[in-house]
């Protein structure tokens, strides 16, 4: 049975772990050939070897999304390896925790460079290829942190809000060229952040973050990958300029306390 991405060629940034790696696996299962780009070349290669062992087509490279030459090289690798580019998943991003008045300019610029400028560069260099082909799908990773504010996350909030509106503008500019541009807005997802904290702190992190969601748990990378695969496919052919919230119901609430009698 054919997959929903049969014969498509995709690039996934930050594809060496978390949401990116889960999306690479899903894309390959759906029939796509994938370029796996990650700041860690070794993690990208591990994912490539994994999917290749199941018969998947993939190549991997070390790439910094904030560097124009790295983005251009990644797109060239897709064209040289597979002949075209149908899907771009702009997934890379980063956050640094700091109150606004304590945030250094260097920290601000780092977060903006990776999270927002990296998304811009992916769009900038992929769109001309897709325009020549007359079709393409681009999915950007935004966040519910681009919709609402978070205490101590000013640079990340600003960058992700920028990704959401950049997505809308790119969708408008390229609709007549057959290119759809959408973004996904995850809630708290169980990725390397929890692992880095160590077992005891990670368990507490998962408990606190899970309790913030009406579904009472963090999301899993595969659950975001499912949405990305749908948006990349022809099943989403009438969807562009949209922000898909995948957050376990977190943004459904106003934040006001539960009223008496509503138990």
pLDDT of residue 95: 93
The domain that holds 206 is classified in CATH as: 3.40.50.720
Catalytic entry in 120, 156, 205, 230: 156
Is the residue at 181 inside a domain?
Answer: yes
Is the residue at 261 inside a domain?
Answer: no
Each residue of 214-238: pLDDT tens digit? 999 999 999 999 999 999 999 999 9
Is the residue at 251 inside a domain?
Answer: no
Of residues 85, 111, 89, 48, the one with CA closest to residue 231 = 89
Is the residue at 257 inside a domain?
Answer: no
Is the residue at 52 inside a domain?
Answer: yes
Is the residue at 2 inside a domain?
Answer: no
Q: How far apart, in whole angstroms, are the C-alpha atoms of residue 207 and residue 226?
A: 24
Confidence of residue 152 (pLDDT cuts 50, 70, 90): very high
156 catalytic? Reply is yes
| Mean pLDDT of all residues belonging to the chain | 94
pTM of the model: 0.95
pLDDT of residue 260: 80
pLDDT of residue 247: 95
Is the residue at 76 inside a domain?
Answer: yes
Q: How far apart, in whole angstroms, are the C-alpha atoms of residue 212 and residue 122?
A: 32
Each residue of 173-203: pLDDT tens digit? 999 999 999 999 999 998 876 566 556 677 8
Domain containing 236 equals 9-245
Of residues 77, 143, 78, the one with CA closest to residue 111 = 143
Yes or no: say if 41 and 65 are a contact pair by the CB < 8 Å rule.
Answer: no
Total number of domains constituting the chain: 1
SS3 33: strand
Is 251 a residue whose pLDDT tops 90? yes
Range 44-49 average pLDDT: 98
């Amino acid at each position: 049975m054919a997959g929903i991405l049969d014969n498509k060629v995709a690039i996934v940034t930050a594809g060496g772990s978390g949401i990116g790696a889960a999306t690479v696996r899903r894309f390959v299962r759906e029939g796509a050939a994938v370029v796996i780009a990650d700041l860690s070349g070794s993690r990208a290669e591990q994912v490539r070897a994994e999917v290749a062992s199941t018969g998947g087509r993939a190549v991997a490279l070390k790439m910094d999304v904030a560097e124009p030459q790295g983005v251009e090289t990644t797109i060239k690798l897709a064209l040289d390896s597979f002949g075209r580019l149908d899907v771009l998943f702009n997934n890379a991003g980063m956050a640094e925790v700091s109150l606004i008045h304590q945030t250094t300019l260097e920290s601000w610029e780092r977060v903006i460079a990776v999270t927002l400028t990296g998304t811009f560069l992916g769009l900038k260099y992929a769109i001309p290829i897709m325009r020549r082909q007359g079709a393409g799908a681009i999915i950007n990773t935004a966040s519910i942190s681009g919709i609402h504010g978070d205490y101590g996350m000013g640079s990340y909030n600003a960058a992700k809000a920028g990704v959401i509106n950049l997505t809308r503008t790119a969708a408008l500019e390229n609709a007549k060229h057959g290119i759809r541009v959408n973004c996904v807005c995850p809630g708290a997802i169980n990725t390397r952040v929890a692992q880095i904290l160590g077992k005891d702190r990670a368990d507490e992190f998962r408990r606190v973050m899970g309790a913030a969601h009406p579904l009472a748990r963090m999301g899993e990378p595969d659950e975001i990958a499912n949405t990305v695969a749908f948006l990349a496919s022809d099943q989403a052919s009438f969807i562009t300029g949209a922000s898909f919230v995948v957050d376990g119901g977190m943004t459904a609430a106003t934040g006001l306390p539960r009223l008496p009698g509503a138990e």
